[in-house]
Structure 1
Amino acid sequence: MIGSAATARTKSQSFYGHFYIEHNRGHHVRVATPEDPASSRYGENFYQFWPRTVGGSLKSAWNIEKKRYARKKQHPFRIGNDVLNAWLMSAVLWGAMIAWLGVGITPYLVIQAVVGFSLLEVVKHMEHYGMVR
């Protein structure tokens, strides 16, 4: 899956690589339904939406990969797991940045990650606000 690797690399700076899995294999299937954590509800402001979508998307991505490996009768904790692969790329990138610039860079990495994925989530909130099917 060349596309998934490329997208996971672009999300590695924000430790949000699971987004690719959830967005394409979860959100696109369940958009505008109560099961979709990435669809904002009518009357739900961004601060209510943010924790639900961040936690729900992570949980959804993990469950998608877990089911994929269950079909293969394999344990999901393996390098081919797209969620773990994305996290590994993030850990390597962050580790390299900390090794190069020192541990003092860590708060800046965390801040840029939270701001980065929050901007993504605010766009999703606006795009899907109140949609129901």
Structure 2
Amino acid sequence: MKTLLNKFNKIGVLAVLFAALVITTQSAFKAVGKLDPPANGWYTVTIPSGDPAVESNQVIGSLTTAPPETDENGCARTENSGNVCRVELTFDGSATTVPANVAAAKAPGSHTSVDDTAESPED
């Protein structure tokens, strides 16, 4: 009986060590992903409320494709004079997150530069 309990103890210790290894490894991979800097490029912009001309109301969304140079019916870099619909961001090596809005991206110390914007057609 003592031999059987001794085997269960060894198996139990090995199971706990294996579980700890799996949990630690998974947590480490998630932490490394959080350290990845945001990607340079074009990001969507939405204006959920307030004055669309106020940069703190221009909420930065997800990374997207570059808008066309012109598009009279959609988001474009030139010839449209409506609300901002996309913004091109460049991050320095210290950036860890995408700013919440255009005002935050332009703020001193944000580690982000706003290189260009695109507008939708005027309503």
TM-score between both structures, scaled by the size of structure 2: 0.23
Which of the pair is proportionally richer in strand? 2
Higher Cα radius of gyration:
2
TM-score between both structures, scaled by the size of structure 1: 0.22
